[in-house]
């Protein structure tokens, strides 16, 4: 992983305050397939956080159990940024 590039990208993303501009930026920097993958991973962690079983998530979203298991492992960590965001935002309740 390119730590400097990730840190720089985090700075860029934090600087964007306009939602529509953020959507444009993400649409320009990622391919449609990358956006779809990213969105499915986000949806899967929201469902996991709500307690939906992995096999049901796999059927609902049409993604592999491997991708879902990664999210599940991250949510189990005490230092999980994903879990912290979901707990604080209430987004998992959608």
pLDDT tens profile 13-37: 999 999 999 999 999 999 999 999 9
- 79 three-state secondary structure: coil
Write down the mean pLDDT value for the chain: 93
Give the pLDDT score at 93: 67
Neighbour tally for 82: CB within 10 Å: 18
Give percent above pLDDT 70 in the chain. 96
pLDDT at 94: 55
Q: What is the pLDDT of residue 8?
A: 95
Give CA separation, 18 vs 21, 30, 66, 73, in Å.
5, 18, 34, 32
C-alpha distances out from residue 76 to 8, 69, 72, 79, 90, Å: 28, 11, 6, 9, 18
Rounded to two decimals, what is the model's pTM? 0.84
């Amino acid at each position: 992983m390119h730590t400097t590039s990730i840190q720089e990208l985090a700075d860029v993303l934090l600087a964007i305050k306009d939602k529509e501009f953020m959507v444009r930026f993400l649409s320009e920097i990622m391919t449609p397939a990358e956006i779809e993958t990213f969105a499915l991973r986000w949806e899967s962690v929201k469902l996991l956080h709500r307690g939906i079983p992995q096999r049901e998530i796999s059927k609902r979203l049409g993604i592999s159990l491997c991708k879902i298991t990664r999210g599940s492992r991250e949510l189990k960590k005490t230092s999980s940024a994903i879990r912290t965001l979901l707990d604080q935002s209430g987004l998992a309740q959608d």
